[in-house]
């Protein structure tokens, strides 16, 4: 873990080195910067840094999820692949040869910067979309800087008075062209300048589309439950107009959607979880449901194994006020756990008990084959329940006799007679 953090910091330092080189190199080509102490120190620093990067990669080769973990094999792999890029970028071309344009070769290191950004996005899943935008803006500014230098190069102004002003006006022109704003104060003169300007304009359309698309995507993904809520309301609008649904029924439906949204239940997690391997499915569902399951007094003292077995098979359901979960004499094949809400148990016309957070009901169906419900259970408020099918629960109970006994005892007390297990 610690080693990973050090590696990330190292990659960040390399990224800074590669970025400053990517800024410096085109400036050096177009303005033919005269060598001075600070520039030389900077150039040597980057060279030392990139050489050290080769040594770091050889000493501590990076493991990959899908590959072998043998260090020797990883080193050979590195020498056959990324080494060439690291090696070229570590050569101080400008100091060896007097041709500044050769320095462009060193910018191959930016490929590794791209890889670093990619790995960050894979790790930081929660903020991956923000990182994508952030990295895009990073590349955009670097790209704009190169284009600005390229514009200065092809305009070839002899002995410019003020280099900073020249650079800034070029960058200004590039950005206004890239963002498709284009005020048109600077117009191309030569054929090459026309072609250059056209290419930037076309690239600008892509840049614009990418930004708009990604921002929209980002906003739509911020809150899936909210999206689901608004989608449902949209559908409701169409539906009530088409089928002329009465006002009080419309209100009930929209109240239900509001409740689902507030409780963050509108996003079906089970669809996502079912795509994972079994072991991970268990782990994720225990994480999501642990707090809730621990509130159920029956499960209070059981261990992680039990939670793991049971949580994956729990299906959340919501009952609206006045809704009957089931009616007396209905066939019963599942039992329920009350997460939140208030319900009444009604036998004939008489309310015989009320149920609330942490209670369970419908358990009698688990002990008798094709049993009929002994009472009606009606939801008084909005109720969040977890439903567990008989087959799965019986399976789990076989492994946890203490819980089976407790449920049996409750059922016995409620029925006032002996329960015969099927
Ligand atoms: P079941 O018969 O499957 O369906 C109706 C449920 O109501 C029953 O299981 C019990 O879980 C519950 N129930 C019946 N009688 C009582 C009671 N006296 N107190 C609380 N719950 C009850």
Ligand 1 pocket, mutate which of 327, 361, 366 (most atoms under 8 A from CB): 361
Domain termination site, one of 203, 233, 262:
262
pLDDT at residue 366 in the model: 73
Please indicate, yes or no, whether residues 298 and 391 belong to a single structural domain of this protein: yes
Q: What's the CA-to-centroid distance between 292 and ligand 1, angstroms?
A: 22
Whether the Cβ atoms of residue 367 and residue 421 lie closer than 8 Å to each other: yes
pLDDT at residue 262 in the model: 77
Please indicate, yes or no, whether residues 290 and 335 belong to a single structural domain of this protein: yes
Q: What's the CA-to-centroid distance between 345 and ligand 1, angstroms?
A: 7
Residue 349 domain flag: yes
Residue 343 domain flag: yes
Total domains in the fold of the chain:
3
Distance in angstroms (rounded) separating the CA atoms of residues 239 and 233: 10
pLDDT at residue 118 in the model: 92
Distance in angstroms (rounded) separating the CA atoms of residues 345 and 274: 34
Residue 112 domain flag: yes
Element (H, E) at 386: strand 383-389
Burial of residue 158, with CB atoms counted within 10 A of its CB: 0-12 exposed, 13-18 middle, 19 or more buried? exposed
Distance in angstroms (rounded) separating the CA atoms of residues 112 and 227: 37
Domain termination site, one of 123, 149, 176:
123
Please indicate, yes or no, whether residues 245 and 297 belong to a single structural domain of this protein: no
Whether the Cβ atoms of residue 28 and residue 94 lie closer than 8 Å to each other: yes
Please indicate, yes or no, whether residues 88 and 63 belong to a single structural domain of this protein: yes
Give the residue ranges of DSSP H helices in 34-81: 37-59, 71-80
Q: What's the CA-to-centroid distance between 344 and ligand 1, angstroms?
A: 10
Q: What's the CA-to-centroid distance between 133 and ligand 1, angstroms?
A: 55
Element (H, E) at 338: strand 334-340
Please indicate, yes or no, whether residues 242 and 358 belong to a single structural domain of this protein: no
Q: What is the CATH number of the domain that holds 339?
A: 2.60.120.10
Both tokens assigned to 54 = 């080769």
Whether the Cβ atoms of residue 373 and residue 329 lie closer than 8 Å to each other: yes
Residue 153 domain flag: no
- Give the residues surrounding ligand 1 with Cβ less than 6 Å away: 332, 345, 352-353, 361-365, 373-375, 377, 414
Task: Report CA torsion sign: 182, 186, 191, 193.
Answer: negative
Please indicate, yes or no, whether residues 256 and 324 belong to a single structural domain of this protein: no
pLDDT at residue 64 in the model: 65
The pTM assigned to this predicted structure is 0.69
Residue 206 domain flag: no
pLDDT at residue 281 in the model: 86
Cα–Cα distances in Å, from 132 out to 8, 118, 196, 213? 18, 9, 28, 12
Q: What's the CA-to-centroid distance between 361 and ligand 1, angstroms?
A: 6
pLDDT at residue 344 in the model: 97
Please give the number of the atom of ligand 1 that sits closest to the Cα of 366.
Answer: 3
Please indicate, yes or no, whether residues 243 and 285 belong to a single structural domain of this protein: no
Nearest CA to ligand 1 atom 11: 361
Give per-10-residue mean pLDDT for the chain (422 aa).
Answer: 82 96 94 84 94 93 67 88 94 83 93 93 85 91 96 88 92 89 84 94 89 81 74 85 87 85 68 84 84 79 76 85 93 90 93 93 80 91 90 80 85 71 50
Please indicate, yes or no, whether residues 74 and 39 belong to a single structural domain of this protein: yes
Nearest CA to ligand 1 atom 17: 414
Residue 129 domain flag: no
Cα–Cα distances in Å, from 191 out to 33, 123, 155, 176, 196? 28, 47, 11, 20, 9
Calculate the CA 179 to chain-centre distance: 28
Please indicate, yes or no, whether residues 282 and 408 belong to a single structural domain of this protein: yes
Nearest CA to ligand 1 atom 15: 414
Q: What's the CA-to-centroid distance between 300 and ligand 1, angstroms?
A: 21
pLDDT at residue 370 in the model: 65
Calculate the CA 418 to chain-centre distance: 52
Please give the number of the atom of ligand 1 that sits closest to the Cα of 375.
Answer: 5
Distance in angstroms (rounded) separating the CA atoms of residues 384 and 338: 6
Give 348's DSSP letter: T
Please indicate, yes or no, whether residues 250 and 288 belong to a single structural domain of this protein: no
Give the residue ranges of DSSP H helices in 312-387: 364-367
Q: What's the CA-to-centroid distance between 190 and ligand 1, angstroms?
A: 89
Please indicate, yes or no, whether residues 283 and 257 belong to a single structural domain of this protein: no
Question: Which residue range forms the structural domain that includes residue 28?
Answer: 1-123
Distance in angstroms (rounded) separating the CA atoms of residues 45 and 50: 9
pLDDT at residue 150 in the model: 96
Please indicate, yes or no, whether residues 250 and 297 belong to a single structural domain of this protein: no
């Amino acid at each position: 873990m610690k080693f990973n953090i050090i590696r990330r910091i190292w990659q960040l330092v390399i990224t800074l080195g590669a970025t400053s080189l990517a800024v410096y190199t085109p400036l050096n080509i177009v303005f033919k910067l005269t060598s001075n102490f600070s520039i030389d120190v900077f150039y040597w620093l980057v060279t030392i840094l990139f050489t050290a990067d080769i040594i770091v990669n050889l000493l501590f080769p990076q493991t990959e999820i899908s590959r072998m973990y043998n260090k020797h094999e990883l080193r050979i792999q590195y020498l056959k692949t990324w080494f060439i890029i690291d090696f070229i970028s570590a050569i101080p071309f400008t100091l060896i040869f007097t041709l500044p344009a050769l320095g462009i070769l060193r910018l191959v290191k930016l490929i590794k910067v791209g890889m670093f950004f990619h790995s960050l996005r894979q790790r930081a899943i929660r903020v991956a979309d923000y990182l994508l935008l952030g990295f895009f803006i990073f590349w955009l500014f670097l790209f704009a800087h190169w284009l600005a230098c390229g514009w200065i190069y092809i305009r070839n102004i002899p002995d410019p008075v003020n280099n900073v002003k020249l650079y800034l006006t070029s960058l200004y022109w590039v950005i206004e062209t890239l963002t498709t704003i284009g005020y048109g104060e600077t117009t191309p003169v030569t054929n090459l300048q026309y072609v250059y300007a056209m290419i930037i304009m076309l690239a600008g359309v892509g840049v614009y589309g990418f930004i708009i698309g990604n921002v929209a995507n980002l906003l739509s993904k911020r809150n899936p439950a909210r999206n689901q809520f608004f989608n449902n309301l949209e559908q409701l609008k169409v539906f009530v107009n088409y089928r002329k649904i009465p006002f009080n029924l419309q209100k009930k439906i929209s109240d239900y959607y509001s409740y689902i949204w507030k409780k963050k239940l509108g996003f079906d997690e089970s669809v996502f979880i079912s795509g994972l391997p079994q072991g991970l499915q268990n782990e994720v569902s225990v994480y999501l449901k642990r707090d809730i399951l621990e509130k159920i007094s029956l499960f209070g003292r059981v261990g992680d194994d039990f939670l793991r077995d049971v949580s994956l098979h729990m299906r959340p359901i919501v009952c609206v006020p006045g809704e009957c979960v089931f009616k007396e004499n209905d066939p019963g094949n599942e039992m329920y756990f009350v997460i939140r809400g208030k319900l009444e148990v009604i036998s004939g016309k008489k309310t015989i008990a009320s149920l609330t957070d942490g209670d369970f009901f419908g358990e009698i169906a688990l002990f008798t084959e094709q049993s009929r419900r002994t009472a009606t259970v009606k939801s008084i408020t909005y109720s969040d329940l977890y439903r567990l099918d008989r087959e799965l629960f019986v399976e789990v109970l076989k492994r946890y006799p203490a819980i089976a006994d407790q449920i049996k005892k409750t059922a016995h007390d409620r029925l006032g007679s002996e329960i015969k297990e099927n």
